Structure 1
Amino acid sequence: MLRGAEAVFKEEHLEEPFPLDSEDAVDLLIDALIDGHSSRNMAQVFSLDRTPLLSGDPDHEFLVGIDPDAQVGIVGFADSEGSYVPSGVPEKEELMYMLLTYPRNFLESPEIPIDLVRKVTKEFVLSGGLRPTCIAWQEEPY
């Protein structure tokens, strides 16, 4: 049985992460990012179903950010194989999203519609933390 994931997108989640164990929970996360402050428009998500590193730290990272004004967002996935963003042609040279007031820049990475952000995030959570297959990925440009 899958355990789901945990998200951090507000200061209180540093102590008690936001649980993601269903599609409804993912919708709550995305809706909170849409309705939230622009200094907190990204969440860091970790699957509870993947084996952590020997240090106890997660062996991966999933990022989800929302720009409610433009009705788009960004997703990112990283593990030992690399760091990935959606494939495609970016409209902007650089994107900046905020994770707990800390900027996270994405260079030459395309944003995707919010509905697709929801779908990708749900697949990550419900697949046991695998890189979603509902979109094409490219290595993140640095």
Structure 2
Amino acid sequence: MAVFKEEHRDAPLLLDSEHAIDAMVDALIVAGPLHKGAQLESLDRQMLSSGLPDHIFLVGVSADGRFGILSYSTGEEGALIPAGKATVPVATYMFNTYPREFLEPPEVPVDVVRRAVKEFVLSGGQRPTCLEWREEPY
């Protein structure tokens, strides 16, 4: 499920097909500047005893729609971003009007964003393997 618009806070968008995933990424590409990121959670994974998900997958699309950012985090693995050379010192993506800064992020082409989201959703919430990951610097 995905949250990237105000109406998704109470009713997250169900991503149940490749078509739905493409539609979500397309919506991020054309969204206004305050809605360029989505928070995804898999319904196929176990919840923590607190009732919260044991993982979070963040997906952001740049203002021009050509690049994006990915962040995958779990309690076991910590917060991960794509491996590679940083494209900027800091990138700020808006998630439902809230800014989220990524330090030294390697932004990836939007087609990689699409592949990673599809892999996340279709694998039951596993960390995508279509790209390499590294710890997110803080």
The answer for the alignment partner of 1:3 in structure 2 is: none
The answer for the alignment partner of 2:46 in structure 1 is: 51
SS in 1 for 2:120: helix
The answer for the alignment partner of 1:19 in structure 2 is: 14
Q: Name stretches of at least 5 consecutive residues in structure 2 with no aligned partner.
A: none
Q: Distance in 2 between matches of 1:44 and 1:115?
A: 18
The answer for the alignment partner of 2:61 in structure 1 is: 66
SS in 2 for 1:33: helix
| Cα pair 2:65 2:110 within 8 Å, conserved | no
| Per-residue deviation, residues 20-47 of structure 1 (Å, max 9, x unmatched) | 0111111010000001111110000000
| Cα pair 2:29 2:65 within 8 Å, conserved | no
Question: Identity over the aligned pairs, expressed in percent?
Answer: 53
Larger fraction in strand: 1
The answer for the alignment partner of 1:38 in structure 2 is: 33
Q: Which amino acid aligns with 1:75?
A: L
CA displacement at 1:91 relative to structure 2: 1.6
Q: Distance in 1 between matches of 2:88 and 2:22?
A: 27
| Cα pair 2:60 2:68 within 8 Å, conserved | yes
1:85 pairs with 81, 86, 95, which one?
81
Q: Distance in 1 between matches of 2:65 and 2:27?
A: 16
Q: Distance in 2 between matches of 1:21 and 1:85?
A: 24
| Per-residue deviation, residues 83-129 of structure 1 (Å, max 9, x unmatched) | 10000001200000000110000000100000010000100000000
Establish whether residue 135 from structure 1 lines up as the match of residue 126 from structure 2.
no
Q: Which amino acid aligns with 1:82?
A: G
Q: Which amino acid aligns with 1:140?
A: E
Q: Distance in 2 between matches of 1:21 and 1:69?
A: 27
> Which 4+ stretches in 1 moved above 3 angstroms?
none
Q: Distance in 1 between matches of 2:63 and 2:90?
A: 17
Q: Report the CA distance shift for 1:13/1:46 in structure 2 as closer, same or farther (over 3 A).
A: same
Q: Name stretches of at least 5 consecutive residues in structure 1 with no aligned partner.
A: 1-5
Q: Which amino acid aligns with 1:60?
A: H
SS in 1 for 2:85: coil
